[in-house]
A and B are shown apart, each in its own frame.
Chain A
């Protein structure tokens, strides 16, 4: 439609907004749209924070432990002395070892 189309006599003035208003409002719109973008990006980056925090907690428990090697645990040594004998002994085999089941075959 050309400007001199006889179908309508009036249009909206192109100068309703001042340049300052245009920049101000336009700027606010873009800033408000940037907010969720930042939020989603932060959620994506931080998605593993809870795993890392808990992992650090356990390594801290390790570093602050008096004894850090399993075979030096006096309670474990006592258990073997008093009861199980040694690893893979008959008592150990009976209580501390197991067998597995092929579940692709018919099961009892």
Chain B
């Protein structure tokens, strides 16, 4: 795309989502889902996406009654070619939300958990499995440790180990690329509050092309082709961010890669819909597959990692580990019901005894999803200094990634959570 854009850097994909003018009826349904007001066009006239405002979340796409928005990036053929190339190790990095939705295009009931069949279908296609739930567990380690560091610094004045700067509270999660771009484009003052941890997808890509290439797949790192399999269209944008070539830089310094030009940590991203299309093209019927294991070290994951796909899941996973790490005692109850469910903003207060400092602290957390409706008041509170929270999980999509812009479009319902309000032609 050769466009003059203001909020994209060189190499980033501007305009993952566009609207097909022939299909658009101007009904304005999409505008009711766009978190950034990036859709222009009067009621009754064809609508357009303003790419400088768009965060590529795809909510307009999954909710349009007429299927007018579409993705401008389609890597299915490229991935198919790589799968057929014997010299390439194609690593499929599968997000949690995919395993409860990939059965749907193959006729299975909505929400069927099909992990085993999914592994089998993908292995048949030629993928090596890296379950993104493994990377989610890794994210909890990194982000959880970062949070504990920030909290102990704020509460007890603890300094960083290698004397670096410690970020402020509240800490916001950073695994949602639409949310990250939302902050970068609308609330840059909140950038220091974002966790420095990468998203699980990007961690997975970096690990696959370093430790993975050397110790797990035992191939040259430049022959590894990483494919994110995501419920999310914004992940296509995220993978194109120019700083995400960390694996190449790391290996180059060690003299461990022959490639002279940088390669990205994530080479391609397939949405759940794209994967279904790829499998069907290869005549693989996921529904008929037997359940199998993932088969690699990277396919091992915990229950905490898998709930990342739900709103509140990241927070619950973080609380489970934070409790055990901080208190040194096991959890009485593994589930944290207070952060579950479809309420726009959920909050919880967890009182625990930090064994390192021997003090009791109450950690106040919040979980926000459907940012179109729910994020601004919370951010205003944070910027005005009156927010009570220490840690906030943010997911752009209503319900979390299970309802992401890359998921199969569902006839049975809209993604829209709140009250029913009529619209008017003159609004």
Indicate yes or no for A touching B, C-beta below 8 A. yes
Which residues on B are within 8 Å of A, measured CB to CB? 6-10, 96-97, 99-101, 109-113, 115, 134, 136-138, 140-142, 144-146, 149, 161-162, 180-181, 183-185, 188, 191, 194, 196-198, 202-203, 206-207, 210-211, 215, 243-244, 246-247, 249-250, 297-298, 300-307, 309-310, 313, 317, 320-321, 324-325, 331, 334, 340, 342, 398-400, 402-403, 407, 410, 412-417, 420
A13-21, A26-34, A49-57 - the one binding chain B: A49-57
Does A35 belong to the interface (CB within 8 Å)?
A: no
Write the nearest CB–CB distance from B402 to chain A, whole angstroms: 4
Sample of 17 A–B contacts (CB below 8 Å): A54-B309, A57-B112, A58-B113, A61-B96, A61-B303, A61-B307, A65-B302, A65-B306, A70-B141, A71-B141, A73-B300, A80-B141, A88-B142, A96-B142, A98-B244, A101-B184, A108-B10
Which residues on the A side are within 8 Å of B414 (C-beta)? 47-48
Residue of B nearest to A53 (CB): B111
Q: Give A61 Cβ to nearest chain B Cβ, in Å.
A: 5
Q: In the bound complex, do residue B111 and residue A98 qualify as a contact, i.e. CB atoms below 8 Å apart? A: no
Residues of chain A at the chain B interface (Cβ within 8 Å): 43-44, 46-65, 67-76, 78-80, 82-84, 87-88, 90, 92, 94-105, 107-108
Task: Assess whether A94 is in contact with B246, with CB atoms less than 8 Å apart.
Answer: yes
CB distance from B188 to the nearest CB of A (A): 4
Chain A interface mostly helix, strand, loop or mixed?
A: helix
Closest to A95 in B: B206
Interface pair B413/A98, CB less than 8 Å apart: no
* Contact status of A58 and B302, CB under 8 A, knowing A88-B149, A102-B184: no
Q: What's the minimum C-beta distance from B213 to chain A, rounded to whole angstroms?
A: 12
In the complex, are the beta carbons of B307 and A62 less than 8 A apart? yes
B92 to chain A, nearest CB (A): 16
Please name the residue on chain B nearest to A45 by beta carbon.
B413
A80 to B69, CA, bound (A): 43
Which of B243, B298, B317 contacts A99, CB < 8 Å?
Answer: B243
Closest CB in chain B relative to A80 CB, distance in Å: 8
